[in-house]
Amino acid sequence: MLRSSSNGKKTSKTVAFVSLLIISILFLLPVIWGVVGSFRSSEDFFNHPESFFPSSWDAFTFDGYAELFSKTEFVSSRANEWYPIWNWLVNSLIVSVGGTLIYLLIASLAAYAFVFLEFKWANRIFYFLICTMTIPGIVSTTPQLINMNLLGAYKSLAGLIIPSFGGVYGVFLIRQFFLSIPKDLIENARMDGAGNLRIFLKIVLPLGKSALFVQGLFGFMGAWNDVQWAQLIVGSAPRSTWTLAYGLKVISDQCEAYESITLALASAVIAMIPIFIVYLVTQSKIIEGVANTGIKR
């Protein structure tokens, strides 16, 4: 009886292993094809489209990257083929890292106030904030664009950063974490004469590091991958103010002709590298953070 059930378990494990192996390969295949393809010559795609890897050692080149980097400077005779990818990279970094750090500061200050400063109606105000989360973002897309125009942030990176500062979700997540910090700790510090700012910096922030980190990761990835808002804010600005994710769309549209396929793939790889590094380093935190959204409610 026992043996048959353990045998059954073994078979089901084997079946799971084989099917997961196949599925993971299928999931990774396009990414690998794109990364490998960025090192192939365009003629090789043309002559050996059925080959997954470069068909010969000669077909293995850095042409795509060389071509891409040769088009980073503005030349008026071919303005349409101006891909200032370093600007895009820096812009994407400014928007995703800078915007996330400022929002984390604003949101954690607010979360501290909601949890540790017992002011009037703290909970009521907080529940009101939670209720506003049900309003779909599309309702305020159009007016937000006008708002950015009024603030002079249209066609600039600031317009990509500041709208996120009003977000409720980060305050909600950070507050949930702060709630688990023992109140005695804060009271003791107050008895010792520490001010709120000192308590915030020396006790609450170090304890809440992991919550801030997870929220920061999501903010970073969201900003790095955003296309929709970037299209509205910087899409009609000079190319040097675009972000990487938006620039890629234009490269993709303009490289329909087959000669530049390696250029297109090379730019995709450049956009994928930073986020992949972040993912590799913080993988367990990201997965834990996503998993927690389903558990702790």
**170 touches 109 (CB < 8 A):** no
CB of 223 to other proteins, least distance (A): 11
- Please tell me whether residue 193 binds other proteins under the rule CB under 8 A: no
- Please tell me whether residue 109 binds other proteins under the rule CB under 8 A: yes
The binder of other proteins chosen from 2, 184, 253, 257 (CB under 8 A): 253
CB of 12 to other proteins, least distance (A): 6
Q: Of 180 and 252, which CB lies nearer to other proteins in the complex structure? A: 252
Angstrom distance (rounded) from CA 203 to CA 189? 9
Q: Which of residues 12-41 bind other proteins (CB under 8 A)?
A: 12-14, 16-17, 19-21, 23-24, 27-28, 30-31, 33-34, 37
From the number of C-beta atoms within 10 Å of its C-beta (0-12, 13-18, 19+), residue 29 rates as exposed
Beta-carbon contacts of residue 220 (< 8 Å; ≥ 6 apart): 96, 97, 100, 278
Radius of gyration of the chain (CA): 25
Q: Which of residues 272-291 bind other proteins (CB under 8 A)?
A: 272, 275-276, 279, 283, 286-287, 290-291
Among the listed residues 66, 64, 108, the one whose alpha carbon sits nearest the alpha carbon of residue 210: 108
The binder of other proteins chosen from 39, 177, 178, 224 (CB under 8 A): 224
Angle of helix 169-179 relative to helix 99-116, nearest 10 degrees, comes to 50
> 131-139 long-range contacts, Cβ below 8 Å, gap at least 24?
132/168, 133/168, 133/169, 133/172
- Please tell me whether residue 261 binds other proteins under the rule CB under 8 A: yes
Q: Of 77 and 90, which CB lies nearer to other proteins in the complex structure? A: 90
The binder of other proteins chosen from 75, 130, 135, 179 (CB under 8 A): 135
CB of 124 to other proteins, least distance (A): 14
Q: Tokens in use for 134? A: 């049900």
- Please tell me whether residue 174 binds other proteins under the rule CB under 8 A: no
Dihedral of alpha carbons 173, 174, 175, 177, sign: positive
The binder of other proteins chosen from 85, 186, 212, 248 (CB under 8 A): 248
Give the H/E segment covering residue 249. Answer: helix 244-254
Angstrom distance (rounded) from CA 59 to CA 216? 41
Question: Scanning the structure block, which residue is given the tokens 């928007």?
Answer: 95
The binder of other proteins chosen from 56, 198, 228, 259 (CB under 8 A): 228
- Please tell me whether residue 98 binds other proteins under the rule CB under 8 A: no
Q: Of 75 and 185, which CB lies nearer to other proteins in the complex structure? A: 185
Q: Which stretch binds other proteins (CB under 8 A): 78-86, 114-122, 175-183, 185-193?
A: 114-122
Q: Of 31 and 75, which CB lies nearer to other proteins in the complex structure? A: 31
Angstrom distance (rounded) from CA 21 to CA 277? 23
The binder of other proteins chosen from 73, 77, 123, 136 (CB under 8 A): 136
